[in-house]
Amino acid sequence: LKRGGRISKAAAFAGGLLNIKPVISIADGEIQLLGKARGSKMGNNLLAQQIQKVGGIDFTKPVLLGYTGLSDVLLQKYIEDSSYLWSAPLDAVRYMSIGSVIGAHAGPGAIAVAFFRK
């Protein structure tokens, strides 16, 4: 986010010290901050709350999980930590590396959940 100009260097530094994870949404081409969480676990909880708030995931339509960085280790941890969200078999959920343009703005270790709501 710092590299993309979305936040200042000072905000990025403070966020790194406090382990703050932004949770954002992209809908109709607009980026919206849903909240900030301290640590990955709280970020996962906030994301799960937002998913439930919109009615949940429609598993009859495509669901995609994405990650930035060289490894999907963080994504696998996210899937384990949020297993209660996945009422469909995990083989129905596709996951892949996020492209370089969005990845450069988000930075390494970002996780994306793309879904249709119920």
pLDDT by residue for the chain (118 residues), tens digit each?
Answer: 666 666 677 777 777 777 777 888 887 888 788 888 888 788 888 888 888 888 888 888 888 888 888 788 888 888 888 877 776 666 778 888 888 888 877 778 888 888 888 8
DSSP-H helix ranges across the chain: 9-18, 40-53, 73-81, 100-106
User: Domain residues of the chain, as ranges?
Assistant: 9-114
Global pTM value = 0.73
- Report the C-alpha gap between 44 and 111 in whole angstroms: 10
Q: Is 35 helix (H, G, I), strand (E, B) or coil?
A: strand
- Report the C-alpha gap between 67 and 72 in whole angstroms: 7
Please name the CATH architecture into which domain 9-114 falls.
Answer: 2-Layer Sandwich (3.30)
